[in-house]
Structure formats: C-alpha cells, structure tokens
Amino acid sequence: MKHLFGPVNSRRLGLSLGVDLVPAKICNFNCIYCEVGVTTGLTVKRREYTPTAEIIAELEEFFAGLDSESAGWPDFVTLTSSGEPTLHTGIGDVIRYVKQELEIPVAVLTNGALLFDPQVRLDLLAADIVVPSLDAARPETLAAINRPAAECADPRQIVEGLAAFAEEFGGEIWLEILLAAGVNDSEKDIDALVAAVERIRPDRVQLNTVVRPPAESWARPLSEERIKEVAGRFKDCRVEIIADYSGRAAVRPERPQKQEILEMLKRRPCTRTDIREATGLAGEDVDRLLNELAEASLIRETMHDGRKYYQAGKQR
C-alpha cells in the first residue's frame, strides 16, 4: 500500500485509516514544528500529485473482504499528507468515494491556508470533520512559525478563508492551534488568535504544542501551566488541550509487520508506546521489530522533551 497507512489509534479520531495524498514533502508551509521534516517543495500549486484512481484502487483493495463488523474497520478515514492534502486536486473525489461507497466518516487534516480559494472549500464540503490549523494571526508571527509560501503569508486572508468555510460547511470544524514557546505565545499573539477564533467560530479549539520531534530542533513546547493559561483566554467556545494518544488500541485484522511500522515512522516520529497502541502488538514484539529495523539502518532514535522517539532514516 503506497498511499494508505494504519488504521492507527489517533489522538482525536479513534481508529483512523490514513490516506496520504501528497507523498513527498510538498506544502505551502514550512512549519518549524513539522513532524515530517523541512519542506522540500514549497508551493501553492494545486495538482494531482498522485493519481486519484490509484488512491481509490488502494482503498477498494483495503476494504475488499472487510465489513463494518470486522476488527480493524476504521471509525474514520483521515485525509492527510506528508505535506498539505488540499494541494491535491482529487481530494474532493476521494472524500466522495469514501462517503458514498464505503459509508465511513471522513476527516481532513489541513493547514487551512488555501481555504480562501472557493474551489478548495467546495472540495472539502462532503467531509464530516475538518481540522484546520491556525498558529498565528499576525503576519510576522505567521512568518516565524509557519514560514509560508508568499501567496499565503497574509493571516487576514487565511482567517477570512476559514470564516467563509465555517459559514458554508455542514460538518464540524476543529481548529488546531499549535503553540511554540517564545515564537507564537506572546500576549499580542494570543490576543490576535482569540479575535480570529471569534471571527471563525469553529466547533472546537484544540491547543497543541511541540510534543513530537520538530523540523527545527530549537522549537520548544509550552509548559502545561502556560497552555492551561492560554486555554482560559478563549471564551464562548469549546477549548481542548490535546495531550498524548488516548483511547483504545487498534485492533488489526492481521499482525502488522516490520514494513508497516516503518511506513508509520516515515510519516512521523513515534514512541514505543505509540507503536504499541497503534498496532496492538505486545511490547516485546515491538522491541524485536524496532531492533531489526535499527540493525538494518532503516530507523533512528531521537530524544525530544525527555522522551525517546523512533523515526525512519539512518542514525546521524
């Protein structure tokens, strides 16, 4: 499977089958905290980065022989990417296929910066949950944290795009704000974000911080105390602090093999516990597979905020 990963136990969506629409690191942002690494193709150009028919064929293959009572039947199909999924012009077709043919709810994780484009808004309309990001509502802060392409460097354009989508969309919008210490957590920045949230009126605000190894090693998380303080600034809306993985472990139809763990680690760094929860494997099996992958120089270990993570790639 080239474009699917999981199902994995997602922090927010339960058992989620991921669809990677743009496999290379192609994005309109180059966020300092990106888990995938530094953006190599900074662009706002929308195109069919991978054939839509190929993605749909993989979904057909995955679900062949499964039914909604099967172990491993996902709660959500989540459209995401190693870059920005709304850059893919086939995103609307994939959403409609999952909804109409598989009858599974669809979530889209996006940086939200292209929602000023009416075609992007139209493409996402059939989804159930859209989780856009908004890390900054002031231009200099947006430049510092998201390092955007020139065409989406104006936070007013981003906020207005999100507000227009919130008006048109029948599903839920969970707006994620990722805060990095000393970068986008000043009082001025929080004031601007509070005003933006009042304008967008999302169903939820989800506060996050740099909990996984970031693209830039100097990007630091906020303390729990500080993030709670910031949460208190958002009134009249549901605010959640996103912690770590929670919820049930994935129940898989087959035991995952080394290759599947490697595919997970190519998409983002994971702790041993993340891998155990996502795969349902026993600790000793996870250790054995990680050892084999490390011996083959396919993964490396990194420390972030006192925790050990595994990610694809050779030890530096």
Q: Which residues form the interface with ligand SF4 (CB under 6 A)?
A: 27, 29-31, 34, 36, 39, 83-84, 111
**Among residues 30 and 52, whose Cβ is nearest to ligand SF4?**
30
Please give the sequence-ordered ranges of beta strands (E in DSSP) within the chain, or none if there are none. 4-10, 14-20, 26-27, 41-42, 76-80, 106-110, 129-132, 172-179, 204-209, 238-241, 299-304, 307-312
Least Cβ distance, residue 291 to ligand SF4 (angstroms)? 29
Q: 153 — phi, psi (to 5°)?
A: -100, 0
Residues 6+ apart with CB under 8 A from 139: 153, 154, 155
Least Cβ distance, residue 32 to ligand SF4 (angstroms)? 9
**Among residues 36 and 190, whose Cβ is nearest to ligand SF4?**
36
Identify which of 253, 303, 308, 243 has the alpha carbon closest to the alpha carbon of residue 275: 308
> Roughly how many angstroms between the first and final C-alpha of the chain, as a whole number?
28
Amino acid letter, residue 124: L
Residues 6+ apart with CB under 8 A from 250: 6, 7, 8, 9, 15, 72, 277, 278, 279, 280
Q: Which residues pair with 5 in a beta bridge?
A: 18
Least Cβ distance, residue 83 to ligand SF4 (angstroms)? 5
Least Cβ distance, residue 39 to ligand SF4 (angstroms)? 5
**Among residues 39 and 206, whose Cβ is nearest to ligand SF4?**
39
**Among residues 36 and 56, whose Cβ is nearest to ligand SF4?**
36
The residue behind tokens 């605000």 is 205
Least Cβ distance, residue 80 to ligand SF4 (angstroms)? 9
Least Cβ distance, residue 45 to ligand SF4 (angstroms)? 14
**Among residues 176 and 185, whose Cβ is nearest to ligand SF4?**
176
Instruction: State the CB neighbour count (10 A cutoff) for residue 179.
Output: 24
Give the span between the Cα atoms of 108 and 129, in whole angstroms: 6
**Among residues 208 and 279, whose Cβ is nearest to ligand SF4?**
208
Least Cβ distance, residue 262 to ligand SF4 (angstroms)? 20
Give the span between the Cα atoms of 305 and 307, in whole angstroms: 6
**Among residues 141 and 279, whose Cβ is nearest to ligand SF4?**
141
